[in-house]
Each structure stands twice: as structure tokens, then as C-alpha cells.
Chains A and B, each alone.
Chain A
Amino acid sequence: MLRYVFRRLLTAIPTLFVIVTVAFFLIRVAPGGPFNQERGLSPEIRANLEAQFGLNDPLWLQYVHYLGNLLRGSFGPSYNLPDFTVTELFAKGLPISVQIGTSALVLALLLGSILGTIAALNQNKLADYSVIALATAGSTIPTFVTAPVIQLVFGLSWKLLPIGGWGDGALINKVGPVLTLALPQIAIVARLMRGSMIESLRSHHIRTARALGLSDWSVVVKHALRGAVLPIVSFTGPAAAALLTGSIIVETIFSIPGVGRYFVDAALNRDYTLVMGTVVVIALFTIVFNLIVDLLYAVVDPRVRYD
């Protein structure tokens, strides 16, 4: 088991390396530079800045430097927010994004599983159709529509929630963003759960359990649910990686100071170090969560063995 974890982490290194390399050169090939767009920069100052950040070095040398810094755990300074290092920016924004993302994920997993199970147990009845309708709506309506509609209805019309802002992490400020972020995930989980639960309920070993006169509770919870939960487990890895690293849409619309906007802003401003930092952080999250999920999978399903 430990050997497996070790091996997985080891194989993650080349993946990470490829991602860093591709991202590094891709953004460098793009026209423009970090100090081109800022108006009012005299050529001398610009040259100075570029020299200071080593941007005049040959590309390969910059790449080697960057890799070296990365190995020492440093993402470098942000070009556009010169008072901060990239690490500091993440230290500030990531906890906020993680808070919102975790809440949304937990909400989605709980509510989605419950709704999906209810639907599966009442297949082709009213409860089932309601869940399907909800899931269809949730997965069809994009967040950049849900978010302003939530603001409009709960914020402006009913005045139940603030329209936006972080409010130093007040609970009421999190409701809107978490709801917006969770809605499509609830839909996905409910759909997955419904499908896998129906399949699980139809499986032969459930028929066996019924034929042996086991209670409904045992049939549904002990036998059907455990098998049905496997697709949800696989879903959780990528979903967690995506949710916890912040959502551009939600953070923009609700004015949340998370890390979700970093990438877009940084890419547009050619803030190379911040772009790279975001890519690395997201890749790391993805790798770690996928590993956790695979280990979790083995816990639920004894047929899966890692050794």
C-alpha cells in the first residue's frame, strides 16, 4: 500500500514536469510581455524591470531558473503585483477558495447522493421525475447564469443575502457562492447516484439478498449503496481538484477574493510567475486528489488491490 502511494507519487513527477514545461513555453510564445501593456512605463524603467526579473535572458535559461526555484519551493515574485510573491498570493486567496469549494463539494456529495438514492428507489415515480428535472436543470444552466439570478432573486428582490463580497468570511456571504458552485455538482452526483443505484439494485446479489429475506435497510444500505457509491468516489477526485482551486465565474460575480481569478488576470497581463504558480497548484491538487480517491476506492471495493 505504502509502496503503491510512493510509486504513484513518483510517476506524478514526469506528469508534473510535462505540464510545467508545456505551460511555461506556451505562455512565453504568446505575444506580449508583463511590462508591455502598462502605460506610462518609460522604456528605461521597462528595461530595468525586465533586467531585474531576468526576462532578457535566453528562454532556456529562464526555464532552468524557474525549475530550480520550483524545486526549492519558490514560485517567484508576481510581476503585476510587485509587493507580493506568488506564494503569498496563494496563502491569501487559497484558504478562501478552499473554504467555498469544500462546502460546495460536501453539500453536493451529501445532497446529490440522497437525491439520487431517493430517485432510484422510486424509479419512474413522481419523486424520481422531480430529481431528474432538478438534475437536468442543475447540469444545463451554466453558473454564469445561476450566479446573477441568485443575486437578483435572493439579493435584490428578497434581500435575504448580500449581493456579493467576502465580508471577512461571514456565513451569509458564503451562501450564494456555495449554492452556485454546488448546484451543477449536486446535479451530477444525483444523476450518477441514481444511475449506479438503479444498476446496483438490479444486480444479482441484491436479488440474492432479497431472496434470503434480508430487511430493506440491509438490502439498500449495506448491499446496494456500497456498490453504488463507487462511481461517486471516482467523480470526487477531479471534482475536488476543480472546486477547491476556485471558480473564476463565482469569484468574479460575487466579488470573492479567492484564487479563481488569478489565472485569467495573470494570463492576460502576462504575469508569468502567477500563471505558472496557478498551473502547478492545480496540477498538484489534481494529482493528490486522484491518489486519495484511488486509495478510497480500494477501501470500498475489496477487488481493487494495490501491491
Chain B
Amino acid sequence: MTELAVAVPEPIVGRSLWGNAWARLKRNRAAMLSLYYLAFIAVISVFGPMVVPHEYTTIYGDYVRTPPSLSAYPKPDMIQGALGDAIKRMRADIKEWHQDGNRVIVTITATKPIDDRNIRYLDRSDAFDDTRIENKSPDGREMTMSSAVKQQYFFFGTDNTGRDLLSRTLMAGRISLAIGLLAGVVAGVIGVIYGATAGFAGGRVDEVMMRIVDVLYSLPFIFFVIMLVVFFGRNFVLMFLAVGAVLWLDMARIVRGQALSIRRQEYVQAAEAMGVGQRGILLRHVIPNLLGPVVIYMTLLVPQVIILESFLSFLGLGVQEPMTSWGVLISVGAKNIGYANWLLLFPAFFLVSTLFALNFVGDGLRDALDPKDR
């Protein structure tokens, strides 16, 4: 064939719909900011608990319901109290105390000789550390000790058992986001497979499959979840399943509708007219065109799951102590609004701001993938 001699010019690369969508998304400032914010929340939730000096389970008996503060604890006025408590446990009295830089020097007296091991009472206090005996009277009834003031920061305050709220909030974020993502994916996958099967099979199969969905829909949805949680017990992993098992219904409907409408598209008929088999149509036509709606709906699904998880945790049906999630924290906060409103406000802010960000990203994606809506 002489035709082959004709040089084939390098083709121009066009911009796909995905490329267009990405460009549009990048122009959407609210969506991009939200995306960065979500990344930030994800990073501090995953790595934060490792960096924050307090374990989320550590109980600071001296710091119950401590209000949030940017400066370190103990505050100067708290030192006397903490000192008094510790010395009382030694069954001794304070003769004199003063602060010298970072250390507190205290002289105590007692009626009986003071055992050296008593200094552990000072170390046990959450306010002091590194206690040393500086001086001891010969009869052993008077002792001077010095102890470092343990500088502790509680930026978000502490909860009603004296646990650091910052590390708890971050840990809760880890759980809430993980459940949101995992259960979202579980629900998404179930929904996509179910919906695509129904939509693609069509006819009788579709009718029966959708009737099942209808019946599940008519079961009161929240109650269905509660029933599942009750049934499975309050198990963290099984909760994914419970939440995922309920939220796949919408996804299944959406995907089925889309699959049906894609099957009716002329480009699918054209492929059929060319003799392309079911597999080819599914792989090359149905799935790529389904992806857009699925991505859009996924961004709606994740916040739904987070809310549902928080809701269950709020009712005490979800994540169990000492493990925590935003819903658990908010529930504690709601019960303590009278005297420790930060317990409500910090976790609520994290939850709500995350939901907002997810919402904006979802809207942005919808506008980007389906621009005719605006």
C-alpha cells in the first residue's frame, strides 16, 4: 500500500471532560479552600495525636474541666492549692514556700519524722515534677524540697474527667473521618454494584431489585440503623457495616437511573450497532460516564456517614469510651453546657467546619462535572 508512505502527523491532544472539570474546580475558590482545609484537618487528625504531649486517655485529676488557655498550667494561683493537696497527703504542714524561677521550694513540718519517699506525693501531682530533697532537719521533722513546676498546656481545656480536649478532639477526628471515608466507600461500592447491576440487567431483574430497595426505603431509616447496631452490639468495626448497609440505597437508585439513561444514549446504541459486546459497552461506555455522578454523590455520602456516626455516638450507640469521636464529644459537651461550654464548642466547630468543607467540595465538583446546572 502506497498510502502508508504518507506521514502521519502527531495528533493534537485534546482536553477531556475530566480535564475541563479539573480546570473548573481549580477556579472555584470556595471548593479549593475547602479542599485544603479538609487536607489540613485530615493531617492534624492523623498525626496530631502523636504530636500533642497528652495522650487522649490520660486523666489529669488536678485539671478537671480546666478552661482552654494559651498559657501553661498550672497558673500561679493554682500552685498553692496543688501544693497544699500534695503536702496534705504526706500528713505534713507547709511551713513556708516560695517560687524560684521554674522551681518551687517548699519547707514542710510534721509531728513525726518525714519519710524521704513522701516526695512521691509531689511528683504524683499533675503540677509538679522532678522533686528533690534540698535539706532535712536532723530530727527529720522538717524538710525542704524543691520541685519543678510541670508546664502543661491545655489549649482546648480538659473534659470532666480531666482529659486533654485537644488530643481527644484530634483523636475523635481520626475516628470520624475514618468511619466517614470507610463506611462511605462501603456504601458507595454496594450501591454502585447493586445499582449498576439492576440498571444494566434491566427488565425483570431490575424490577425485583428495585422493589427490594423500595421496601428497605420504607423501613424507617434511622431506626433501621439503630436496630442493626443493637443487633450487632456496639462494635466499632461492625458499625461501618451498619452505616454502610443503610446509606447504599440512595447510591443504588442514582446509579441505576444513570445506568438506564446511559444505556438509552445513542452512543451506546451506536456501539451495539457495531457489534460491541456487553463487556465492551460496560467498560468503555457505561462505567466512564457513570463516574461523574458517582463522584458527586460520594462527596454527599461521606458527610452523611459522618453525621450518622456522630448521631449514633451521640445516642451512646456508636463509638464507646475511652475511644472517642466527634459525636461522643458533642454529646458530653451538650450535657455540660452549663459549666464547661468549650466541651461543646470545640468538637462542634471541628465537626461543622468539616461538614461545611465537604459540602463546598461537593458543590464545586458538581458544578465542575455538570456545568449546565448553573
Contact = CB atoms under 8 A, between A and B. Distances in A.
B356 interface: yes
B227 A267 contact: yes
A144 interface: yes
Interface string B306-333: 0100110011010000000001001101
Contacts of B2: none
A148 B223 contact: no
Interface string B208-247: 0000000100111011001100110100000000000000
Nearest to A253: B334
B206 to A, nearest CB: 19
A26 B231 contact: yes
A187 to B, nearest CB: 11
B341 interface: yes
A23 B220 CA distance: 10
Query: For B310, B334, B338, B351, which residue has the most chain A Cβ atoms within 10 angstroms?
Result: B334
A37 to B, nearest CB: 12
A213 B359 CA distance: 41
Binding site secondary structure of chain B: helix
Contacts of A142: 307, 310-311, 351-352, 355
A295 interface: no
A19 interface: yes
A171 interface: no
Contacts of A149: 344, 348
Interface string B332-347: 0110011001001000
A278 B334 contact: no
B220 A144 contact: no
Contacts of B352: 140-142, 145
Contact of B220 (A18, A31, A140, A279): A279
Nearest to A152: B337
A19 B330 contact: no
Nearest to B306: A142
A220 interface: no
Given A26-B231, A152-B344, A279 B307 contact: no
Contacts of B307: 142
A283 B230 contact: no
A128 B310 CA distance: 31
B230 A30 contact: yes
Interface string A92-126: 00000000000000000000000000000000000
Nearest to B313: A144
Contact of A282 (B220, B231, B334): B220
Nearest to B351: A145
B68 to A, nearest CB: 16
A142 B344 CA distance: 13
A140 B314 contact: no
Interface residues of A, number: 36
A156 B338 CA distance: 7
Given A145-B348, A264-B315, A264-B317, A151 B331 contact: no
B338 A144 contact: no
Given A144-B314, A156-B338, A253-B334, A278 B218 contact: no
A21 to B, nearest CB: 11
Interface string A270-292: 00000000110011001000000
A279 B223 CA distance: 8
Contact of A18 (B215, B230, B303, B315): B215
Nearest to B221: A242
Nearest to A145: B348
B334 A144 contact: yes
Interface string A20-60: 00110011011100000000000000000000000000000
Interface in B36-56: none
Nearest to B223: A263
B255 to A, nearest CB: 21
Nearest to A12: B218
Interface string A149-169: 101100010000000000000
A89 interface: no
A268 B338 CA distance: 28
A230 interface: no
Interface in B143-190: none
A152 B311 contact: no
A225 interface: no
Contact of B341 (A15, A31, A152): A152
A148 B334 contact: yes
A144 B307 CA distance: 10
B287 to A, nearest CB: 29
Interface centre among A145, A147, A263, by most chain B C-beta atoms within 10 angstroms, is: A145
Contacts of A268: 230
A248 to B, nearest CB: 7
Contacts of B226: 263-264, 267
A283 B218 contact: yes
A136 B344 contact: no
A67 interface: no
Contacts of B303: 140
B220 A148 contact: no
Given A144-B334, A268-B230, A23 B219 contact: yes
B333 A148 contact: yes
Interface of B: 215, 218-220, 222-223, 226-227, 230-231, 233, 303, 307, 310-311, 314-315, 317, 327, 330-331, 333-334, 337-338, 341, 344, 348, 351-352, 355-356, 359
Give the top 9 A-B pairs by smallest Cβ distance, nearest first: A148-B334, A30-B231, A282-B220, A144-B314, A140-B355, A145-B348, A152-B337, A267-B230, A142-B307
8 contacts: A18-B215, A19-B218, A19-B219, A142-B307, A144-B331, A148-B330, A267-B223, A286-B220
Given A15-B218, A30-B230, A140-B356, 17 more contacts: A27-B227, A30-B231, A140-B352, A144-B310, A144-B330, A145-B330, A145-B348, A145-B351, A147-B334, A148-B348, A156-B338, A249-B311, A249-B314, A263-B223, A267-B226, A268-B230, A283-B218
